[in-house]
Structure 1
Amino acid sequence: MTKFSGAVPVLTAVDVPANVSFWVNTLGFRKDFGDGDFAGVSRGDVRLYISRTEHQIVADNTSAWIEVTDPDALHTEWAAEVSTDYANASGPAMTQVGDSPAGREFAVRDPAGNCVHFAAAE
């Protein structure tokens, strides 16, 4: 029987290099490959692809969930660099950490508009 061993969320961006810069320089991911249209970043065992779109509405409606061992610690790490005023849609921001039906989690909106949730791994 085939075993599923992972998945790679694909985020979208009108400006791929600018979005890669946020994930690398602000959130501590590593750039694995990329050009102006398609790139890959990673941190630990998690990989993300960032694909170019010509339509902002695509990025504004793209989301992903990533499991992490300690969302509270990760939120603290990023709070020095990323606004916690998620209601202000003018740029990158993250929500407060909270409990949801999926467990303890928070969300990050990147500069492209993608919403990525970081949730406690079960």
Structure 2
Amino acid sequence: MKQIEVQILQQSYLLSCPEGHEGRLLDAVERVDTAMTKIRDAGKVRARERIAVLAALNLAFEIADRDAADLAARSAERRAAPAPAASTTTAQHELPLPEADDERLRAVVGRLDDALGGDGRLL
């Protein structure tokens, strides 16, 4: 395990990383630092903890959007592909709809609002 010192929002962190994965870790650090810096520079949020939570939520939404786009592309490919013969059809498990993800994310934001205090909404 290799240790790498990184800076996120001008604070140093010493992170452990499996050998050979340093580039991926540094890419992730850059994404997190960029997301947190944008929120801080917008001037509406100053507390580092709240900035981190908002950045995490923004990144989670990006991932959910990308997953939804991938799901839509796979669904379109399945619709375009010829249907298999009835004798070879197997049960397929459908992935949750993006709306369900949206509802879960809204519930998480609500719980975070409750946990972080009554000084206003997170988003």
What is the TM-score of this pair, normalised by structure 2?
Answer: 0.24
**Larger C-alpha radius of gyration, 1 or 2?**
2
Higher strand share: 1
